[in-house]
Amino acid sequence: MTVEIIRVRMQTSNRNLELYRTDPDKFLRRYVTMDETWAHHFDPETKQQSMQWKHPTSPPVVKFRKVISASKVMVSVFWDSEGVLLTDYLEKGKTVTGTYYAGLIHKLREVIKEKRRGKLTQGVLLHHDNAPAHTSHVATATIHKCGFELLSHPPYSPDLAPSDFHLFRHLSICAKMIGGGDAFYLKFWIKLTLLERNRQFSLSFRS
């Protein structure tokens, strides 16, 4: 990461933090974020997860080879401080494009209108990373057409995506639990996992 990228990253983060500090409650009422992730039927362990304590004279631990199932789904999740708003599964063989993402923005507006009374009036503050589909002309035009305000995301900063901290690590655990199977069962368990996250969001929001 270059010095210039670090500088821009800090500037963008400070601007967003200042916007939050101006009125934290209003910021959280307006805030909506999203991200996409691949959910596999079987996630391999990280090197740290696979480590085991053993005596220096103990024989090496025999481990079975871990194979990721060919069945996987790409899921896009939109959520706010109250919970998950919208999930969408990419059709097999398709890719995330600006047109596809623009369609999700239209769906998001309708969902917010139905589930979050008053949020559109307050003005939606949409946050996403700088993936090409998100920053494409068609997606940007659709976001403005829907009346959403964009919250800047620092360049080259996937580590600052809220979904990775609050949602996707739970989906990874879910994928490990169910093991093999087809996409139908994977989507079912993803739905259950997100419902549980909704409950946790609701408890946190009320407290």
CATH of 23-43+70-206, one of 1.10.443.10, 3.30.43.10, 3.30.420.10, 3.10.129.10: 3.30.420.10
Q: Measuring CA to CA, how many Å separate 78 from each of 21, 61, 90, 162?
A: 23, 42, 14, 11
Instruction: Report the distance separating Cα 160 and Cα 137, nearest Å.
Output: 24
Alpha carbon 50 to chain centroid distance? 25
Domain ranges of the chain: 23-43+70-206
Sign of CA dihedral 170, 174, 175, 176: positive
Task: For residue 146, give the 3-state DSSP assignment.
Answer: coil
Strand blocks (E) in 44-184: 72-80, 83-89, 125-127, 149-151
Which residue from 133, 148, 130 is spatially nearest to 32, judged by alpha carbons? 148
Could you tell me the pTM of the whole model?
0.74
- The Cβ of residue 63 has, within 10 Å, a number of other Cβ atoms equal to 9
The pLDDT of residue 69 is 47
Q: Which residue has the tokens 């609050």?
A: 166
- pLDDT 10s per residue in the chain (207 long)? 789 989 999 999 999 999 999 999 999 999 999 999 887 665 445 444 444 445 556 666 544 444 444 567 888 999 998 888 999 999 888 999 999 999 999 999 999 999 999 999 999 999 999 999 999 999 999 999 999 999 999 887 777 777 766 666 666 655 555 544 566 666 766 776 666 666 665 545 444
Rounded Cα–Cα distance for residues 15 and 19 (Å) = 6
